[in-house]
Chains A and B, each alone.
Chain A
Amino acid sequence: ETGVTQSPTHLIKTRGQQVTLRCSSQSGHNTVSWYQQALGQGPQFIFQYYREEENGRGNFPPRFSGLQFPNYSSELNVNALELDDSALYLCASSLPGQGYEQYFGPGTRLTVT
């Protein structure tokens, strides 16, 4: 069974640019959540997607947006990058009806310069 995968592994962007991060959920999982983990901190919830719709959002500005596709994979898009967006971005997937029990991918390390 394949776990949650994320791409790319690392990314370096310049302030003001846009970035797209990708996530493939674990087999059979239809819910995807995204988290931002700044250095030395715990993960912070960005949003969750279920059936291709946003199903809950944390305290992040609208320049953080997402998509979920019919195969349950997901994208996180961040526009107008700021230096504080530098972080590890984690994707997690869940089984139907078990949205709390989240299984995480290895993350994408984003550096904004």
Chain B
Amino acid sequence: AQSVTQPDIHITVSEGASLELRCNYSYGATPYLFWYVQSPGQGLQLLLKYFSGDTLVQGIKGFEAEFKRSQSSFNLRKPSVHWSDAAEYFCAVGAREYGNKLVFGAGTILRVKS
């Protein structure tokens, strides 16, 4: 069965510090990979996506993510966090072999301290 794991439920970083959010997946197929961000009471905003090609992808708001096939990981990074980045972040995976659904991780809540 397909699964997505985000090992960290909460992460707290200082404003200006770097950030890495972890995502691991279990899929028996070539995955499509996504990171979404959700502010309290809001819908999901797409930060970035990986379908194929260069394994380091750039997204909006200064985020990037790296696909590592050998580790089944797609970690999200940002060099310098801003207070406005405080939100919940979801990793999601899709695969043609499993239809058009996205499977989401449980999310990581990011807190930014000043």
Chain A residues with a Cβ under 8 A of chain B: 4, 6, 31, 33, 35, 40-45, 48, 50, 55-56, 58, 90, 92, 94, 99-107, 109
**B42 partner residues in chain A, CB cutoff 8 A:** 106-107
Q: What separation, in Å, do the CA atoms of A56 and B44 have in the docked complex? A: 21
CA distance A44 to B107 in the complex (A): 12
Interface of B with A (CB < 8 Å)? 4, 32, 34, 36, 41-46, 49, 51, 90, 92, 94, 99-107
A51 to chain B, nearest CB (A): 13
A101 CB → nearest B CB, Å: 6
Q: Choose one: A99, A103, A107; the contact of B100 (CB below 8 Å).
A: A99
Q: Which residues of B contact A103 (CB under 8 A)?
A: 46
Whether the Cβ atoms of B43 and A107 lie closer than 8 Å is: yes
* Residues of B contacting A33 in the complex (Cβ-Cβ under 8 angstroms): 100-102
> In the complex the two chains form, is A43's CB within 8 Å of B44's CB?
yes
Contacts of A31 in B (CB 8 A): 100
- Per the bound structure, the CA–CA distance linking A93 and B107 in Å amounts to 21
B99 contact set on A, CB distance < 8 A: 48, 55-56
Q: How far is the CA of A58 from the CA of B99 in the complex (A)?
A: 10
- B100 A43 Cβ-Cβ under 8 A: no
Contacts of B103 in A (CB 8 A): 45
* Chain A residue contacts of B44, Cβ below 8 A: 43, 90, 92, 104
Known A31-B100, A55-B100; 14 more pairs at CB < 8 Å? A42-B4, A42-B90, A42-B106, A48-B99, A48-B100, A50-B100, A56-B99, A56-B101, A94-B100, A100-B51, A102-B46, A105-B43, A106-B42, A106-B43
Checking A43, A58, A109 against B90 with a beta-carbon cut-off of 8 angstroms, the contacting residue is: A43
Looking at the complex, which one of B46, B49, B94, B104 makes contact with A43 (CB distance below 8 Å)?
A: B104
